[in-house]
């Protein structure tokens, strides 16, 4: 478990590496009216600015959420989020891909709120055939409530990569040949919800939601899915498919990810042997050497 460091402690060498390796994705900005359905919240999810902005809100009665109209089987998904400001303890903003059924697949970003002045925890997980337990958690190197930042999922046949503002923070490789399940057969829809989870979200449930701060609000814009869309039993991909379908992390991107994990990771299931008394999961041993 790495200790939290402020951005001022980042090495000059890593800053140079970020500048060399960083490239901003070219967004084809999506319209929320066209791409998403509000699925719960009784008016707490609102599409604004002609479809360019969506806000979710949470009060003591209910949270809110939306889902994509399309389902995907592989793709590169980007969304810009601005998280709940101030005292967000007890709240969770979830942004994830998920299939259906008991043996579901899922790729998770979850943002765990905290007391004012304390950093959000970015919780990531990968579910395969209904089994998760692959949590990695991070602090962020910026205030995610002050402005919009881009959170991306790359999902192709070889790997899943979680990125923040184009900087990879986690990679989950396809190691099926070692018996590790990998999401590859189930189409997934994109979901996002804002909800109360004060029984576990902040310090394991020790800090409860302060409802005097409600309504809590998270904002979304600039959705882009360069993905294979599922329709009528088949998957249809864009002409840009080859740009991401076999994409892997180059040297600079691997350096960025190592910097994030060395400086901002606060939990890694692969470094928690007490949780796995029979031995760490297979991917924990082989992922870094293959």
Tell me, yes or no, if 106 is annotated catalytic. Answer: yes
Candidate list 49, 71, 102, 106, residue with the active-site label: 106
Candidate list 110, 135, 176, 248, residue with the active-site label: 110
Tell which phi-psi region holds residue 245, choosing left (phi > 0), alpha (psi between -120 and 50) or beta: alpha
Model-level pTM?
0.89
Q: What is the pLDDT of residues 108-139, one digit of tens each?
A: 999 999 999 899 999 999 999 999 999 999 99
> Given a cut of 80, is residue 290 above it in pLDDT?
no
Tell me, yes or no, if 71 is annotated catalytic. Answer: no
pLDDT of residue 24: 34
**Nearest-angstrom CA–CA distance, 23 and 50:** 29
Q: pLDDT category, 15, cuts 50, 70, 90?
A: very low
Q: What is the mean pLDDT of the chain?
A: 90
Q: What is the pLDDT of residues 196-255, one digit of tens each?
A: 999 999 999 999 999 999 999 999 999 999 999 999 888 888 777 878 999 999 999 999
Give a three-class secondary structure readout of the chain. CCCCCCHHHCCHHHHHHHHHHCCCCCCCCCCHHHHEEEEECCCCCEEEHHHCEEEEEECCCCCEEEEEEEEEEEEEEEEEEECCCCCCCCEEEEEEEECCCCCCCEEEEEEECCCCCCCCEEEEEEEECCECCCCEEECCCCCCCCCCEEEEEEEECCEEEEEECCEEEEEEECCHHHCCCCCCCCCEEEEEEEEECCCCCCHHHCCCCCHHHCCEEEEEEEEEEEEEEEECCEEECCCCHHHCCCCCCCHHHHHHHHHHHHHHEEEEHHHCHHHCCCCCCHHHHHCCCC
> Given a cut of 80, is residue 8 above it in pLDDT?
no
pLDDT of residue 29: 52
**Nearest-angstrom CA–CA distance, 227 and 154:** 9
> Given a cut of 50, is residue 9 above it in pLDDT?
no
């Amino acid at each position: 478990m790495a200790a939290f460091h402020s951005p001022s402690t980042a090495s000059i060498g890593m800053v140079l590496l970020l500048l060399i390796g960083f490239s901003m994705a070219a967004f084809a900005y999506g319209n929320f009216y066209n791409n998403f359905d509000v699925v719960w919240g009784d008016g707490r999810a609102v599409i604004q600015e002609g479809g360019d902005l969506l806000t979710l809100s949470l009060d003591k009665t209910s949270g809110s959420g939306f889902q994509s109209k399309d389902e995907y089987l592989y793709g590169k998904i980007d969304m810009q989020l601005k998280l709940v400001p101030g005292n967000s303890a007890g709240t969770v903003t979830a942004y994830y891909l998920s299939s259906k059924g008991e043996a579901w697949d899922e790729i998770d970003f979850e943002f765990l709120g905290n007391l004012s002045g304390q950093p959000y925890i970015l919780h990531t997980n990968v579910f395969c055939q209904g089994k998760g337990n692959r949590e990695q958690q991070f602090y962020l190197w910026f205030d995610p409530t002050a402005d919009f930042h881009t959170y991306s999922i790359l999902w192709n046949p070889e790997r899943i990569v979680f990125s923040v503002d184009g900087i990879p923070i986690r990679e989950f490789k396809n190691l099926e040949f070692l018996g590790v399940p990998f999401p590859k057969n189930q189409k997934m829809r994109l979901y996002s919800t804002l909800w109360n989870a004060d029984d576990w979200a902040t310090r394991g449930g020790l800090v409860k939601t302060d409802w005097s701060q409600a309504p809590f609000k998270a904002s979304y814009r600039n959705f882009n899915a360069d993905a294979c869309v599922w329709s009528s039993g088949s998957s249809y991909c864009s002409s840009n498919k080859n740009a991401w379908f076999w994409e892997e992390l180059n040297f600079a991107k691997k350096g960025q990810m190592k910097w994030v994990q060395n400086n901002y990771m606060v939990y890694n299931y692969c470094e928690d042997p007490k949780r796995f008394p029979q031995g760490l999961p297979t991917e924990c041993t082989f992922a870094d050497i293959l």
